[in-house]
Amino acid sequence: MTTTALTHLTQLVTNDPSLGEGPLGLIQDAAVVIDGDRIAWVGPSSKAPATDNAVDASGRSALPGFVDSHSHLVFGGDRTEEFNARMSGRPYEAGGIRTTVAATRAATDEQLSANVAHYLAEALRQGTTTFETKSGYGLTVEDEARALRIAGEHTDEVTYLGAHIVSPDYADDPAGYVDLVTGPMLDACAPHARWIDVFCEKGAFDGDQARAILTAGKQRGLLPRIHANQLSYGPGVQLGVELDAASADHCTHLTDADVDALANSTTVATLLPGAEFSTRATWPDARRLLDAGATVALSTDCNPGSSFTSSMPFCIALAVRDMRMTPDEAVWAATAGGAQALRRTDVGRITPGARADVTLLDAPSHVHLAYRPGVPLVSGVWRKGVRVA
């Protein structure tokens, strides 16, 4: 197998405290050796073993490829008009999802798949090497199963979100829709997904409905995650903890009891600052969660309604500026945090044996991701050992 080394990195983030300094395991003047699809060696450049190829990365820094644990990429159409209206003062409401449901149902398989590929390529160029994506804009048995099949053409981290909102076809019978989501739709979707998710929110699903949906999914072998406490206070976060969800996502409106529950659990609090940015909403308080001892991840929530960004660097900059995270905390959350939110140990770190996913920055340190917002600093991306950007 071919070996490649990145040498003379001004700084390297390993996310392994045993390899370097602090929680990010930082190494100065570092080298990384890739063998096939794995990391083979990490350490000071002066001690790097000989390799077939070498890239001199003087003046640059590297970090694990970003792990984006929350996106909604199987969709048709866009919502430019809704965004314009919102920026003129109209509030964001869960009901906007219906616009995308209509456009998604009308799209062909080829259009949907090309759309997913387009946004994944965009994310890859910005350093994201692992991505989760969801269904949730089909809301019929056939359209949800189709969305998951298409998602599975592009990633292994596929989430069944038949419970995004009550389907417009069941507007007068929400209980009937929950029966569909936990019955025939689950039967059709479970073979194509790893995760089950529910939007637990006013205007979507209440705590009892969300419990029934996640429990049914668990019984079929799907692992739970939850959209919780995005637009208002509610039962989502505590339900996620109770059901051992890998992640409770959004966490914008939290009581002290919610923060305590997260801090005393293995459920990651995944914060999605692109959503607050694009809906002009209150920022989640990352500082409060971190100070309480909760594990925090950052993701894009890329979707055409509430957060139409695929950029993890943008989310890091927002988290540092507006959610009171330090640059180190934000970079950890966008890499190792995302991996934990997907219960993965092979990604989100640059250590021997990990998948060779490396993002190279044209900057001397990862801090520049927040210090130089909006600047395209990503100058190289390796995924499974292959240079893809």
Binding-site residue ranges: 70, 72, 79, 137, 164, 227, 230, 301, 303, 305-306
Pick from Fe ion, ligand NIG, none: which does 349 bind, CB < 5 to 8 A by kind? Answer: none
What element of type H or E holds 195? strand 195-200
Task: Give phi and psi for 256, each to the nearest 5.
Answer: -60, -40
Of 16-24, 33-41, 190-198, 300-308, which part binds Fe ion (CB under 5 A)?
300-308
User: Residue 19 or 251: which CB sits closer to Fe ion?
Assistant: 251
Enter the DSSP assignment of 374.
Answer: T
The helix/strand/coil state of 8 is: strand
User: Residue 37 or 206: which CB sits closer to Fe ion?
Assistant: 206
Annotated binding site for N-formimidoyl-L-glutamate: 137, 303, 305
Q: Output the smallest distance, CB 87 to ligand NIG, in A.
A: 15
> Which residues form the interface with ligand NIG (CB under 6 A)?
72, 96-97, 100, 199, 227, 230, 275, 301, 303, 305-307
Answer yes or no: are the C-beta atoms of 212 and 234 closer than 8 Å: no
Q: Does 68 bind Fe ion (CB under 5 A)?
A: no
User: Residue 7 or 100: which CB sits closer to ligand NIG?
Assistant: 100
Q: Does 157 bind Fe ion (CB under 5 A)?
A: no
Answer yes or no: are the C-beta atoms of 338 and 5 closer than 8 Å: no
Q: Output the smallest distance, CB 301 to Fe ion, in A.
A: 5
Q: Output the smallest distance, CB 285 to ligand NIG, in A.
A: 18
CA distance 261 to 221: 24
Q: Does 301 bind Fe ion (CB under 5 A)?
A: yes
Q: Which among 298, 241, 246 has a CA at the least distance from the CA of 275?
A: 298
Annotated binding site for Fe(3+): 70, 72, 227, 301
3-state helix, strand, coil in the chain (%, to 5): 40, 25, 40
Structure tokens at 163: 């419970």
Site size with Fe ion, rule: CB under 5 A: 1
- Encode burial over 80-104: b for 16+ CB neighbours within 10 A, e otherwise: eebbeebeeeeebebebbbbbbebb
Q: Output the smallest distance, CB 108 to ligand NIG, in A.
A: 20
203: left (phi over 0), alpha (psi -120 to 50) or beta: left
User: Residue 75 or 177: which CB sits closer to Fe ion?
Assistant: 75
Amino acid at position 349, single letter: R
User: Residue 118 or 202: which CB sits closer to ligand NIG?
Assistant: 202
Enter the DSSP assignment of 71.
Answer: B
Q: Output the smallest distance, CB 8 to Fe ion, in A.
A: 40
User: Residue 195 or 199: which CB sits closer to ligand NIG?
Assistant: 199
Binding interface with Fe ion (CB under 5 A): 301
